[in-house]
Chain A
Amino acid sequence: MTVLVTGAGGAIGSAVVRQLAEEGREVVAHDLTAEALAAAADWAAESIVGDLTSASDLKALRRCFAGESLDAVIAAHGIPGAGALEHMSRKRIDAILAVNAVTIPALLRATLASLAADGGGTFVAIASQAALRGEPDNAVYCASKWAVTGWVSAIAPHLAADGVHVRALCPGRTEGPLLESALEGFAAETGQTVEEYVADILKVIPLGRYARVEETAAAAVYLAETSSARPTILATSGGEVPS
């Protein structure tokens, strides 16, 4: 089984790469820089550096897999986007929407032929629990993630007929740099210290803790399987925002 994982250098992405490799899958790791890919180097069979917002890099990615079969694509890339709308520049708005949302359908279309080959495959977009509800001081990030799950819900029935299953995972707060960055942004907007903000947040998660990256990765790997039916949208949020 060959799986492409984007954002493979991130906390969730590298955990996905590791789990797949430990299960004996051949993993192609993709990220923006070679430095980022170092986190997944020990487990990836191959690494590709590229910018998913670049049309030419997407074409190059398509050529990489031309004539080959892909069993799954797990899109684990993304950037934080916390902040009040009033403080957001258009440039920042565009970056969040481009990286978190626009690259998802673009990535699917670049890999669709390979996913459809040999009986079909699975495309898993790692969105966020922010795709399932509104969050103050996070409107642009929410817009980007809602766009993903809205698109997944609509395209999934169309592509299922071609043997390609499109799904979205909506993780809650998962340990790692993205969460740390988001916490800083939220704390700043509410005028709290990060410690104060974290104390409040843990009270609203029924399980009382953040997700471990291995748990989020396990949910992504579960959705990537084609052996039996899987939900189109799945939240892994410790009960805070169930799907």
Chain B
Amino acid sequence: MSGSVPTGSRGTTVHAELGVRRVNGPSGPFEQRQSARDDPWVLVLRLDGGGSDPFASGVLEGCGALLEALRDLLAGAGTDRLNVALVVACPEPTDRWTHAAEHGTVAAVRGAMQSLTPELGERARINVFVCRAEGDDAALDAALRFVASPGGGYVAGSTFDLRARP
């Protein structure tokens, strides 16, 4: 995506506005968007699957940066309650090492989230969404909309693994 993020109402246009559909953003593993004050913060970790050590790339650089961003988000929120969507966008694995690195990275993000959910209590609601980088955008869109909907709040702390085809 390019350009500024348009503002909009919560729910119906969260996914499209936040540009998760096409993650072709700035350099670095992250994109961080919020369109309206009550919309969920969407932190997108894009795994590149490449390099000599995909596990280090995903866990240390990627998950490490994700946790730092989340920490800063919490620090800036004050007493406001946060809704956070952690999206991990994974390329198709090319070999057993990238396959295992992907699983390790996703597990790391999930483990952090499952710890932060009781740690933060009512201060923040966090969910993890795992998808293919060039995958089913409709599935990610539907999941983000569901969590942002009035009936979707109680899934706090859960992971939406959207990598499998229906």
Contacts and interface: CB of A to CB of B under 8 A. Distances in A.
B75 interface: yes
B118 A154 contact: no
B75 to A, nearest CB: 6
B106 interface: yes
B17 to A, nearest CB: 27
Contacts, number: 130
Contacts of A140: 67, 112
A203 B153 CA distance: 32
Contacts of A139: 67, 111-112, 115-116, 119
Contacts of B118: 134, 136
Given A136-B115, A137-B119, A106 B56 contact: yes
B108 A146 contact: yes
Contacts of A90: 64, 68
Contact of B70 (A85, A145, A155): A85
Interface in A130-145: 130-131, 133-140, 142-145
Interface in A150-193: 150-151, 153-155, 158-159
A107 B119 CA distance: 32
Interface string A108-142: 00000000000000000000001101111111101
A147 to B, nearest CB: 4
Contact of B60 (A102, A138, A149, A151): A102
A74 interface: no
A147 B111 contact: yes
Contacts of A145: 111
A97 B56 CA distance: 9
B165 interface: no
Interface in B96-150: 96-97, 99-119
Interface of A: 84-86, 88, 90, 93-94, 97-98, 101-102, 105-106, 130-131, 133-140, 142-151, 153-155, 158-159
4 nearest A-B residue pairs (beta carbon):
A150-B107, A134-B114, A146-B111, A151-B104
